[in-house]
Structures are given as structure tokens and as C-alpha cells.
């Protein structure tokens, strides 16, 4: 019996894709940068089948690459091109909600539920699941937790890690760790769930999670402010924080990002005359309709105008206006890809260091690659700015990458020098393994390798991801 026959026998024909055409979508990442050659794609329907799959793969010596919505930007969910024989383990069929408890402010979702489906389930229960990012319609719970994704609401609710009460994980040998308890206090030893959140499937496969819910927001107020520089944006952020406006998001957007989105986005209107180089998209909200959110935000912005922290302000008067502002922010990644190839980064620095970070990156580009242009937007409220360098018109992505192969490493070095991280919310995958080796503490790497060896002694769980070669 061949290895594929053994897998088909263990899981059933519907859960083991073997035809090349069926496998092809799982062999390439979302950006088309990373490609692998999986032996098969396994699509288990429940935790028992995941356990059986991992036991079978262990016996056959096959590596396992877990996959969810496959929206990873770092090549985490496809096999290594030159790696060991691997199968992709897709969790997409595991898309059930095991429980929703509005009194407990929690729900238990399987790994294949999309983030948007979790939001909708929470909404139906009169609650809010606050994880919010551009790919939420296709990104799945397992992948979002495995990369500890962030998003626009981190300043209020935290990253994915902060929204997890418990997890269910299948280990490399097929054993199931059931740690789905929904309690807020548990001091019974090591917090094992945090080993698997952010591990990108290198330690085990998350199959379900207990997620934290919140009261629904009764009021939202959204505004766009024009600022001269990130320094003024930082001062305006501090003012809004202290205003009592209950911030949910504070996004910094470079003018060229708005221009690119207006050029390529559908049904997007210019929100104001673009008179400055930088803009901030601000959202404040309250769970209580009686809280004067608009008044507090308006007062802070008017004071910011008087103090010279803002040059112009638009406060939304309708949901259509609000949606237009968020469409600008959320449509940019796709519009940017149409505009020209770019070299993206995903770093985080202390909030107070954002202006210096941007100044140093702008200087780096001007000095090393004057033909390039900086494009930056991101979550100023948590220090995570998505900065990229666009090449000149007519240049291909491969040409740009060849021109500036050390662009991302140098931006990452700047972030780390300022007390930040070279990976904020997208993970490590294949693309940032070199940075892990160069910028991560050697002690931290030793500890991570020790944990990896303990939980996956044969190195079969998502090989070639996260940890650099020893």
C-alpha cells in the first residue's frame, strides 16, 4: 500500500485530495511568491480525523503543513519548495460553532470558521467579536490564532492572543490537548495555549478555540484628520486618548495611499481636499448610547486644530461616509498591488517611536534607492506601521526585489533598534526566518528550539517555518 493509499484509508476519499488539479490551489501562497509540491491535501471533518491524520503521517514519515484561509503574507501555509515530503492539512471543513454563550461572553469555534463568521455569530447573540482586519472574510480562526493576527482594534481589544480563553490542539503524535476552558482565571501551571498561538502550526494543529466576546457597540463616531507629519499625528493621538472618546482605532495613512486607492478602488470618493502628506483615520465608540462619544471626539479634534496638531478634520455624518473612509483604508492593499510592485514590511515600534521610525525609513530609501518611493499606513495606536517601497513605473516585482534585496532586513533593523519587532501581525513563515536568526535574542531562539524539540521531535510540523536553521 502506498502512503497516499494509507492516508485515504485512514480518512476516507473525501478527506484526501490526490489529483494534481485539486492540490494546485494549496501549493501556492496568496501573493504567489511561495510555491511547494504537497503530496496530498487532507481535509478532515473533525478533531478525530485530524488526530488520525497526524498519527498516519507520523507513521509514514510525512511532514504536515496546516492551512486555513491561506491568506498568509509570509508563506506559512504552503510547503517549502525544497522541503521534505509534505501534506497540506486544511481545516476548512471544520467550520462549526460548538457553543455560543452571551452570558459568559464567549463562544467556541472550530478552526475552519472564518473570522467574519465568528463576528456574525457574536452579533446574532447580541455580542461583539472585535478582531477586525482586511482578510477577515476568508481568514480562519486557526490561521488567525497561529499567526496571532492583529488588526485595527488592537488599541482597545488587543491582538488575537488577547481574545483567546482556551484552545484545542492536536499534537504531532496525534494526541489531543483539550484546553478549551472558558474561565478568565486559571493559575494551574503553564499557560499552554500561548505556546500554540503565534507558532504557525510548528508545534501542533489548533482545531478549536474558546473566544472572548464583548458587549456590542451602541455608538460609533469616525473622523479623518489631515496632519503635517507623524509628529503631529502622535500628539493628536495622545489628545484623543485623554478626551474620554473611547478610541477603537487610530490609523495613520500617507497621502499617496489615499491617492492610489482613489485611482484603483471602486466607488470610493475623495473624503477631503488632500492638502497634507499624512492623515489619521480615527474611530471612537461606546457600548452605551448615553455616552457622548461624538462630543468628546469633536472637542478633541477641535482642540487639535487650534493647537496645530491637525490642519483639517472631517467627522462622518452618515454610515455611508464612515464606510467610504474605511473602504479607503481596507481597499489599499489590493489597489497597491495594481499600482506597482512593492516590497512590504510588517514591523512594530513603541508608539512614541513611530515618527522617528518613519523618518529613518524615508531617509534609508532616499539614500539607498532614490528611484523608489515610500508608501506607509497602519495602526499608529499600537505602533504597527505597514511600510513598503514601490519601484518606478514599468519595473517588475522580481526586478525590484533584485534591486533592493536588503530593504526589508534594513527596515526590520531600524524597528528593532527603536525597541520594536521585525514581525508585528503577519507572522514569520518562510519570509522572515533570516530575520529571526539575525534579530531574535539567541537565548529566545534556544528556548524556542527546546520547545520545538519537545513537542515535535521529528520536525514534521510545518518544517522550514518560523525557526531559522540551527
Give per-residue pLDDT as tens, 64-115.
999 998 888 788 889 998 889 999 999 999 999 999 999 999 999 999 999 9
Rounded Cα–Cα distance for residues 185 and 171 (Å): 25
pLDDT value of position 245: 85
Is 282 within 8 Å of 224 (Cβ atoms)? yes
Instruction: Please state, in angstroms and rounded to a whole number, the distance separating the CA atoms of residues 244 and 1.
Output: 67
Q: What is the mean pLDDT of the chain?
A: 93
Q: How far is CA 79 from the centre of its chain?
A: 20
Range 12-20 contact pairs with CB under 8 angstroms and sequence separation of 24 or more: 14/43, 15/42, 15/43, 15/44, 15/45, 15/49, 15/53, 15/93, 16/40, 16/41, 16/42, 16/43, 17/41, 17/42, 17/43
Q: Could you tell me if 125 and 149 are in contact, meaning their C-beta atoms sit under 8 angstroms apart? A: no
Residues 267-283: tens digit of each pLDDT: 999 999 999 999 999 99
Measure the CA–CA gap between 375 and 274, rounded to whole angstroms: 16
Query: CA angle, 445 as apex, 439 and 447 as ends, to 5°?
Result: 150
pLDDT for 151-207, tens place per residue? 899 999 999 999 999 999 999 999 999 999 898 988 889 999 999 999 999 999 999
The mean per-residue pLDDT over the stretch 123-144 comes to 93
Query: Residue 10 has what pLDDT?
Result: 77
Give the pLDDT confidence score for residue 69 in this predicted structure: 85
| 367 pLDDT more than 80 | yes
What pTM, to 2 d.p., does this model score? 0.92
Q: What is the pLDDT of residue 3?
A: 67
Q: What is the pLDDT of residues 19-60, one digit of tens each?
A: 888 999 998 888 778 888 899 999 999 999 999 999 999 999
| Confidence label for 63 from pLDDT (cuts 50, 70 and 90) | very high
Q: Are 227 and 310 within 8 A, CB to CB?
A: yes
| pLDDT value at 246 more than 80 | yes
- Answer positive or negative: Cα dihedral of 344, 350, 354, 356: negative
Percent of the chain surpassing pLDDT 90? 77
Q: Give the C-alpha distances (Å, rounded to integers) separating 259 from 26, 256, 307, 328.
A: 34, 5, 27, 9
Kindly tell me if the per-residue pLDDT of 1 is higher than 70.
Answer: no
Cα 150 → chain centroid: 5
- Cβ atoms 353, 418 nearer than 8 A: yes
289 has a pLDDT exceeding 90: no
Higher pLDDT, 3 or 255: 255
Dihedral sign for Cα 459, 462, 467, 470, please: positive
Amino acid at each position: 500500500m502506498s502512503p497516499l493509499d494509507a492516508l485515504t484509508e485512514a480518512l476516507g476519499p473525501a478527506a484526501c485530495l490526490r489529483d494534481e488539479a485539486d492540490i494546485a490551489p494549496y501549493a501556492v501562497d496568496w501573493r504567489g511568491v511561495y510555491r511547494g509540491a504537497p503530496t496530498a491535501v487532507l481535509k478532515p471533518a473533525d478533531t478525530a480525523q485530524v488526530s488520525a491524520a497526524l498519527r498516519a503521517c507520523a507513521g509514514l514519515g510525512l511532514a504536515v503543513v496546516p492551512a486555513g484561509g491561506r491568506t498568509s503574507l509570509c508563506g506559512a501555509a504552503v510547503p517549502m519548495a525544497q522541503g521534505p515530503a509534505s501534506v497540506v492539512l486544511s481545516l476548512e471543513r471544520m467550520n462549526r460553532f460548538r457553543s455560543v454563550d452571551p452570558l459568559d461572553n464567549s463562544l467556541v469555534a472550530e478552526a475552519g470558521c472564518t473570522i467574519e463568521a465568528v463576528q456574525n455569530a457574536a452579533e446574532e447573540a447580541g455580542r461583539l467579536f472585535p478582531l477586525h482586519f482586511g482578510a477577515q472574510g476568508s481568514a480562519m480562526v486557526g490561521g488567525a490564532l497561529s499567526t496571532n493576527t492583529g488588526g485595527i482594534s488592537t488599541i482597545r481589544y488587543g491582538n488575537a492572543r488577547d481574545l483567546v480563553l482556551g484552545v484545542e490542539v492536536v499534537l504531532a503524535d496525534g494526541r489531543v490537548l483539550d484546553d478549551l476552558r472558558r474561565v478568565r482565571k486559571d493559575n494551574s501551571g503553564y499557560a499552554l495555549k500561548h505556546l500554540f498561538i503565534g507558532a504557525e502550526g510548528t508545534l501542533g494543529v489548533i482545531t478549536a478555540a474558546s473566544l472572548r466576546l464583548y458587549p456590542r457597540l451602541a455608538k460609533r463616531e469616525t473622523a479623518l484628520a489631515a496632519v503635517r507629519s507623524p509628529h503631529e499625528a502622535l500628539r493628536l493621538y495622545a489628545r484623543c486618548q485623554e478626551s474620554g472618546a473611547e478610541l477603537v482605532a487610530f490609523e495613520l495613512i500617507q497621502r499617496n495611499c489615499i491617492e492610489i486607492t482613489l485611482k484603483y478602488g471602486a466607488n470610493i470618493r475623495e473624503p477631503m481636499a488632500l492638502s497634507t502628506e499624512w492623515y489619521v483615520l480615527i474611530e471612537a465608540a461606546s457600548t452605551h448610547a448615553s455616552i457622548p462619544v461624538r462630543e468628546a471626539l469633536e472637542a478633541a479634534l477641535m482642540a487639535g486644530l487650534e493647537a496645530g496638531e491637525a490642519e483639517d478634520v472631517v467627522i462622518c455624518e452618515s454610515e455611508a461616509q464612515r464606510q467610504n473612509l474605511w473602504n479607503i483604508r481596507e481597499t489599499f492593499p489590493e489597489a497597491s498591488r495594481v499600482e506597482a510592485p512593492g516590497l512590504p514590511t510588517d514591523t512594530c515600534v513603541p508608539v512614541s517611536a513611530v515618527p522617528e521610525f518613519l523618518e529613518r525609513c524615508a531617509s534609508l530609501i532616499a539614500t539607498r534607492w532614490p528611484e523608489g518611493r515610500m508608501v506607509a499606513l497602519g495602526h499608529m495606536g499600537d505602533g504597527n506601521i505597514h511600510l513598503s517601497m514601490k519601484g518606478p513605473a514599468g519595473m517588475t516585482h522580481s526586478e525590484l526585489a533584485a534591486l533592493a534585496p536588503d530593504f526589508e532586513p534594513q527596515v526590520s533593523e531600524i524597528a528593532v533598534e527603536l525597541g520594536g519587532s521585525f514581525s508585528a501581525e503577519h507572522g514569520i513563515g518562510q519570509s522572515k526566518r533570516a530575520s529571526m536568526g539575525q534579530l531574535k535574542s539567541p537565548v529566545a531562539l534556544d528556548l524556542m528550539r527546546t520547545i520545538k524539540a519537545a513537542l515535535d521531535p521529528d520536525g514534521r510540523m510545518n518544517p522550514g517555518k518560523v525557526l531559522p536553521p540551527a
